[in-house]
Amino acid sequence: MRSIIAERSREKRVEDKVFTAAKAAMDAVAEHGDRAVNATLGVLVDEEGKLVTFDEVWSTYLNLDVAKELASYSASFKGEGEYLDELQRWVFRGIDRRFQSDAVATPGGTGAVGSTFKNYLDPGEEILLPHIGWEPYWIMATENEFTVSEYKLFDGEKFNLESFKEKASKIMEKQGKVMAVINDPCHNPTGYSLTIEEWQKLAGFLNELSAKGPVILLNDIAYIDFSYKGIETRKYMELFNNNTENFLVILAFSISKTLTAYGLRTGAQVAISTSKEVVEDFVRANEFTARSMWSNVPKGGMKLLSKIFSQEEHLNKLIEERQGYVELLRERSDIFVGEAIEAGLPMYPYRDGFFVTLKTSGASEQERIYKKLKEKLIFTIKVNDGIRVAICSLSKRKIRGLAARMKEAFDE
């Protein structure tokens, strides 16, 4: 039978590595109990193995008015006004902000990335992605019919600015516009965060490049509130006060991590520019996309954030509660990284965040080690040039001794 699906959709298929691996891990846990290690899912779990849910968040949510704040439509395709205002106050908390900004609500951080892709490049144009990154970036690039160029993420133990500059410059020469993706801080899947000095060099280069054509930097900040540097991690945003009008920054924000509210599917695109006109164009185009794709973001998620963030007492309780889990994540990463170094386990540089990624050389070695780990009942995720370990979902007890066991898989 002749396929009746559109030509551009005939080869589409999603093979989600995370959920496939997670299913195998859960089956192993059911069969082998405590011997199995499930390091697949990128969600924060407590020391008893339960999904972390912040008390301040969910007590607020359960007290929202069902008819007015949960079941009803949002007043705008752009999103609830108070939500967008409070979200920007939070994202820019503690920084000297002199640039223009505005935001559009999206279904999670995924919606923020997808809408940005759709509105800033045309089909057939090239997007710049990190060679190690969150797999849906590539899926969304395919969906939008982009070609992909990749910059090497690391030069030894630091961000590979030279690779980024080389690839971005080539794209600018070819198409007169550059859109690049950064996932910072707490990069998924390596846990790397750029230093302020690295951000200064990156922003300086992109401003220079913008003299040749428009530059759009999409920074995925999904994990920003789990940075070990706290509010200080936002300081790099002050660099954008000096951007040219041809250099637009869009932040992809999600309440999934910030409020441990994964299922509410609420996020936002936040535009940063020194040009009011550029920001107005951003709102116009992305609001149109919202209407055409999902219409309204869940009102309950937006009301939840605005109620907590608009009341200092509730916000401070949330910050204190979340900080306890940030410290727990730090303890877990200290154990794993320390033992990995001691065992000689090859690993990309880690600074903070939910994940650590082990280095592998080529697809064959990666597949060999991945299978050896599964034989040892250690379940992980394959990523470009590495194997991701979700320390966010492992108790300290599970982490102790894990690096040495994993090193055996590398050596066998």
Q: What CATH number is attached to the domain comprising 129?
A: 3.40.640.10
Q: Are residues 172 and 228 in the same domain?
A: yes
Q: What is the pTM of this model?
A: 0.96
Residue partners of 369: CB distance under 8 A and separation at least 6: 358, 360, 387, 409, 410
Q: Which helix (H) or strand (E) holds 192?
A: none
Give the Cα separation of 32 and 330 in Å (integer).
28
- Separation of alpha carbons 90 and 310, rounded Å: 10
Asked if residue 207 and residue 112 are part of one domain, the reply reads: yes
Please give the pLDDT value at position 383. Answer: 94
- Asked whether the beta carbons of 360 and 95 are under 8 A apart, the reply is no
* pLDDT in the model for residue 12: 86
Q: What single-letter amino acid sits at 6?
A: A
Confidence label for 9 from pLDDT (cuts 50, 70 and 90): confident
| Bridge partners, residue 183, by sequence | 220
Q: How confident is the model at residue 209 (pLDDT cuts 50, 70, 90)?
A: very high
Considering the domain architecture, whether residues 279 and 328 belong to the same structural domain is answered as: no
204 falls within a domain: yes
Q: Which of 21-25, 77-81, 199-203, 398-402 has the lowest mean pLDDT?
A: 21-25
Residue 386 lies in a domain: yes
Residues 233 and 373 in one domain: no
> Up-side HSE of residue 398: CA atoms within 13 Å toward CB?
23
Number of domains within the chain: 2
- Tally of residues, the chain: 412
- Residue 188 inside a domain? The answer is yes
- Closest by alpha carbon to 350, among 359, 362, 361, 360? 359
Same domain? For 245 and 294 the reply is: yes
The predicted pLDDT at position 220 comes to 98
Asked if pLDDT for residue 33 goes beyond 90, the answer is no
Is pLDDT at 298 greater than 90 in this prediction?
Answer: yes
- The verdict on 141 and 283 lying in the same domain is yes
Choose the weakest-confidence range: 11-25, 97-111, 377-391, 398-412.
Answer: 11-25
For residue 169, is pLDDT > 80?
A: yes
Ranking 26-35, 86-95, 119-128, 281-290 by mean pLDDT, the lowest is 26-35
| One domain for residues 286 and 336 | no
Order the strands of the 381-383 sheet from edge to edge: 355-359, 386-390, 381-383
Under a CB-based contact definition with an 8 Å cutoff, are residues 157 and 346 in contact?
A: no
Q: What is the helix (H) or strand (E) element at residue 51, kind and residue range? A: none
Q: Are residues 238 and 95 in the same domain?
A: yes
Same domain? For 303 and 321 the reply is no
Last residue of a domain, one of 312, 345, 371: 312
Domain match, 296 and 379 both: no
Distances (CA, A) of 184 to 79, 164, 223, 351: 25, 15, 8, 11
- Evaluate if residue 16 carries a pLDDT over 80: no
Domain with residue 344: its CATH number is 3.90.1150.10
Give the Cβ contact number of residue 348 at 10 Å: 22
Same domain, 239 and 110: yes
At 2 the pLDDT is 75
The 8-class DSSP code of residue 385 comes to T
**For residue 282, what are the domain limits?**
65-312
Q: 250 and 375 share a domain?
A: no
Give the percent of the chain with pLDDT over 90: 90
Phi and psi of 128, rounded to 5°? -105, 120
